[in-house]
Amino acid sequence: MTTANSMDFGETWVYESIISALPGIEIPNTLAIGIQLVFFETAVLVFAALDDNATIAIVGSAAVLLATLGSVEMLRISRLVRSRSVPTIYKRLLFGSKVETVLGVLVYVALVTHLFVFEPRQSAQSILHSLLGPNPPVVVMYVLLLVGWDISYRIGTNWWASLLGLWRAGRYRFSGAGPREFNLDPETARLLRRADSETALFGLLQLSIVPVLESGSVLQNVLIAHVIAVVAVSGAAAILMTPNSP
C-alpha cells in the first residue's frame, strides 16, 4: 500500500502528514490505523475496568470505532482523488488548504462548549457526570477529550469533502461546451462519483454512535442533522458527476 511518506504533503490529510513527518519512520496507513485502534481501545477498556464502569466501555468503544472507520474512509477517498486525471485545483483545495482542520477545530470547540457550559446549565445530570461521575480521573478525561478531537476532525473533514465535491461538480462538465479545462473524461467522472459516494458513506458511518447518545439530546439531533446534510450534498455532487446529467 502506498504510504504518506511517498507523497507530497500537499496531497495528504493532516493526520497522514503528521505520520510521514516522523524522522526515520515509515508506517503504512493500515498499520497506522491499527495502532490507533489498539491504543485508544486498550485505554478505554483499562479505564472502564479500573472504574468498574461498563458505560465507559460502551460509549468509549463506540467513539473509538467511529474514529477508526473515519480514518479508513479518509484513506479510501484520498486514493480516489489522488488519481492523476483529477483536476489539480480540486486536489489542492481538498488537501493543501487544510480547511478540514479549521472546521474540525470549530466542531471541537462547539463540543467542548456543549459538554462543559451548555449541558451543565440545562441539566444537573450532564452526559459527563452520568458517564464519569462528579470527579472524573484526569487521565480518563484527557483520553476522552483526545478521542473527541479525533471525531471532531473527521466531521470537519466530512464537511469539507462534501462541500468541495459539490463545488467541483458544478465547475466541471463532460460535454464539449465551455472551456476545455473544465471538461472531464468518463473515467475521471467515475472516480469522482466514487469519491462522492465514499464521502456520503463517511457521514453515514457516524450514525454508529447515535445509539449511545441520549435519545432526543442536542448532541444526537445535531449529529443526525449533520449526516443528513452531508449525504444530501454528496449525493447531489454524485448526480452532477454523471455524464448524462444536465
Which SS3 state, helix, strand or coil, does residue 183 take? strand
Q: What is the tens place of the pLDDT at every residue in 42-76? A: 999 998 888 888 888 888 899 999 989 988 998 89
Percent of the chain at pLDDT above 70? Answer: 84
Domain count, the chain: 1
Is residue 245 situated within a structural domain? no
Distance between CA atoms of residues 83 and 165, nearest Å: 15
Is residue 43 situated within a structural domain? yes
CB contact at 8 A, 66 and 209: yes
Q: What is the tens place of the pLDDT at every residue in 74-128? A: 889 988 888 767 888 888 899 888 899 999 999 999 999 998 888 888 776 677 8
Full DSSP string of 85-149: TS-HHHHIIIIIT-HHHHHHHHHHHHHHHIIIIIHHHH-SS-HHHHHH-SS--HHHHHHHHHHHH
Is residue 246 situated within a structural domain? no
User: What per-residue confidence (pLDDT) applies to 200?
Assistant: 96
Is 229 buried (19+), middle (13-18) or exposed (0-12) by CB count in 10 A? middle
By residue count, the chain amounts to 246
Q: What is the tens place of the pLDDT at every residue in 173-199? A: 655 444 445 667 778 888 889 999 999
Q: Is 187 left (phi over 0), alpha (psi -120 to 50) or beta?
A: alpha
201 Cβ contact partners less than 8 Å away, ≥ 6 residues apart: 73
Query: Which has more pLDDT, 230 or 134?
Result: 230
- Provide the grid cell at 103: 472546521
Q: The whole model's pTM is what? A: 0.85
**Domain carrying residue 218:** 4-240
Q: How far apart, in Å, do the first and last CA atoms of the chain sit?
A: 38
Is residue 12 situated within a structural domain? yes
Is 127 buried (19+), middle (13-18) or exposed (0-12) by CB count in 10 A? middle
